[in-house]
Amino acid sequence: MTATAIEHGPEHGHAADDHHHAGESGLATYLENTRRNRLGMWLFFASEAFLFLALLVTRFYLWRGPHGEVVRPELDQFAGLVVTAVLLLSSYFMNRAEVSIANDKRTDFLTSLLITAFLGTAFLVGVVVWEWGMFPGIVKGHLKPTDGVFGAVVFGMTGMHALHVLSGVILILNVWWLGRKGHFSGERHWGVEACAIYWHYVDLVWIFFYPAIYLIGTTIDVPH
């Protein structure tokens, strides 16, 4: 099932309460809540892993040549490499954002978030415009969704992943906006942490998807 913004981290918005608990016992509650949130988040990842595994299984089950060999369609290798690099780079800036807020460096935090969101958007544009060919006036894509199992699986896998990237970008922008208004601190920034681990998770998924779609198997010509 797809991720919706609600699922990202149960109660991740506790971040919003960051400034409203004061004192020692407030902090203890906050820390215990964060431990629960963290566990919830990891369980959510475990759940999502099954969705992505199902898609990987589908890919290896369906992409078979006439003699049962593992095959893949011809895609734009350059596009694949570029979007992958962009996404991996974005994870670095996400990490920088988290480290910055942990050290109360707000300006760095905000800048890094914006860079992450920008790179995430670049990834999305790369996939949708370059690889999918959504706007044939700009770039003509290689495959259509209706091109048998090749179209179905490429669009299914990249589509499901893109949906997660999109929700991640929205989340990052939300955190950025709250951060600008003065939310989060070195001590209390579960909202940022949730956003960061979600982003790394989505990245990790791509590390499995990219070779499955672009690298493994012999290429096969897909007629239209």
Partner 1 sequence: MSLFTLGIARGLLGQVLGMVIGMLLTCAVRILLGWEAWAAEPAWTVGAVCSIIGFLLGVGSLDDWLKWTKGIPTPLHHGPPVDKPAWTRYFSVDYNHKVIGVQYTVWGILLLMVGGTVAMIFRTELARSGLQFLGLDLYNSFIGMHGMIMIFAILLGVGGMANYLVPLMIGAEDMAFPRLNALGFWFNVPGSVLLLLSLFVGGWDAGWTAYPPLSARGPIGYQLFFLGVFAIGLSSIVGSLNLLVTLLRMRPEGMSLFRMPIFCWAVFATSLIQLTATQLIGTSFLMVSVQRALGMGFFDPRGILGEVSPMVGGGDPVLFQHLFWFYSHPAVYIFVLPGLGIVSELLPVFSRKPLFGYKWIALSSMAIAIVGFLVWGHHMFVSGYNDILRIPFMYATLLVAIPTGVKFFSWLGTIWGGKVHFDTPMLFVLGAISVFLIGGLTGPILATVPTDFPLHDSYFVVGHFHATMFGGFVFPFFAALYYWFPKVTGRMYNETLGKIHFFIMTPAFWVQTLGQMGVGVMGMRRRIADYDPTLGAGQIESWQLAVTIAGFAIAFGVMLMLWNFFQNAEVGAAAGDNPWRSRSPEWQIPSPVPEHSFPAPLHVVGEPYDYGLADAGYVTTASTGDD
Nearer to partner 1, 84 or 179 (CB): 179
Sequence-separated (6 or more) residues with CB below 8 Å from residue 16: 178, 183, 191
At closest approach, how far in Å is the CB of 181 from partner 1? 6
Considering the complex, what minimum distance in angstroms separates the CB of residue 163 from partner 1?
Answer: 11
- Closer of 11 and 108 to partner 1 (Cβ): 11
CB of 92 to partner 1, least distance (A): 26
Residue closer to partner 1, measured from CB, 14 or 96? 14
Distances (CA, A) of 59 to 75, 94, 170, 210, 223: 15, 30, 29, 12, 19
For partner 1, the binding residues (CB under 8 A) are: 1, 4-7, 10-17, 20, 32, 35-36, 39-40, 43-44, 46-51, 54-55, 57-58, 61-62, 65-66, 145-153, 155-156, 174, 178, 181, 183, 220, 222-223
The least distance separating partner 1 from the CB of residue 88, rounded to whole angstroms, comes to 26
179, 110 contact by CB (below 8 A): yes
> Token pair for residue 180?
């600008």
Closest to 87 (Cα-Cα) out of 155, 3, 164? 164
| Six token digits for residue 4 | 């919706």
Q: Which two tokens mark 27?
A: 């902090």
Residue 40 or 211: the one with the smaller Cβ distance to partner 1 is 40
